[in-house]
A and B are shown apart, each in its own frame.
Chain A
Amino acid sequence: MLSGCSDYHEVEDLTIVTAVAIDKGVENRIDICVEVVKIKDNLPDVSYIYASGETYSQAVTNAIKTTGNDLFFSHTAVMILSEEFARDGIMDILNTIYRSSKLRLDMNLIIAESVLASEILTSKPFIETVSGLEIKDVVEISSLQSEVPTVPVYEFIDMVTSEGVSGFLPKISLIGETREITGVALFSQDYLVGFLDEEYTKILSILLNEVKGGVITFDEIQSPISFNLESSKTLITPYIVDGKLRFVFDVKVKLNLAENSANYEDLELIETQINMALKNDINNLLKIAKENPTSDFLGLGELVYKKYTDEWSFLREKFEVFIEFLEYDINVNCEIVGAGLISSPLSPKN
Chain B
Amino acid sequence: MLISGLMSLGGSDGAGRDTWISAFLVVILAVPMYYIYFYPLKSFKNKDIFQIHDIIYGEKVGFIISLIYILTVGLVFVVSFARYSVFVKTVALEKTPILIIAIFMIITVIYACVCGFETVARFSEIVIYLIVIFLVFTLVVAYSTVNTENLQPILESGIQPVFKGMFSIFASPYLESFALISLFSNVYDRNKVPKVLVVSTVISALVIGVAFLRNLLILGNEATQSFYYPSYQAISLITFGSFFQRQEVTVSATFLIADIIRLSVFSIFITKGINYFLRKRELVRTSVVIIIGLGLVSVYFLGNTIKVFTFIDMYKRIIFIPLVILPCITALISLIKIKERN
Contacts and interface: CB of A to CB of B under 8 A. Distances in A.
A158 interface: yes
Interface in A61-115: 98, 101, 104-106
Secondary structure type dominating chain A contacts: helix
Given A101-B92, A105-B233, A106-B239, A157 B222 contact: yes
Contacts, number: 63
A2 interface: yes
A61 to B, nearest CB: 15
B156 interface: yes
A144 to B, nearest CB: 14
Interface residues of B, number: 31
Interface in A1-27: 2-7
Contact of A4 (B93, B149, B150): B93
A154 B237 contact: yes
Interface in B211-245: 218-223, 226-227, 233, 236-237, 239
Interface string A142-178: 0000000000001101100110000000000000000
Interface string B138-171: 0000000001011011001000000000000000
Contacts of B147: 155, 158
A101 B222 contact: no
Contacts of B223: 98, 154, 157-158, 161
Interface string A101-131: 1001110000000000000000000000000
A309 interface: yes
A258 B175 CA distance: 64
A3 B156 contact: no
B101 interface: yes
B96 A6 contact: yes
Nearest to A106: B237
Contact of A162 (B96, B156, B222, B227): B222
B94 interface: yes
Interface in B185-235: 218-223, 226-227, 233
B90 A101 contact: yes
19 contacts: A3-B96, A3-B101, A3-B104, A6-B100, A7-B92, A7-B96, A98-B226, A101-B91, A101-B94, A105-B233, A105-B237, A154-B219, A154-B223, A158-B150, A161-B220, A161-B222, A162-B220, A162-B222, A302-B149
Interface of A: 2-7, 98, 101, 104-106, 154-155, 157-158, 161-162, 302, 305-306, 309
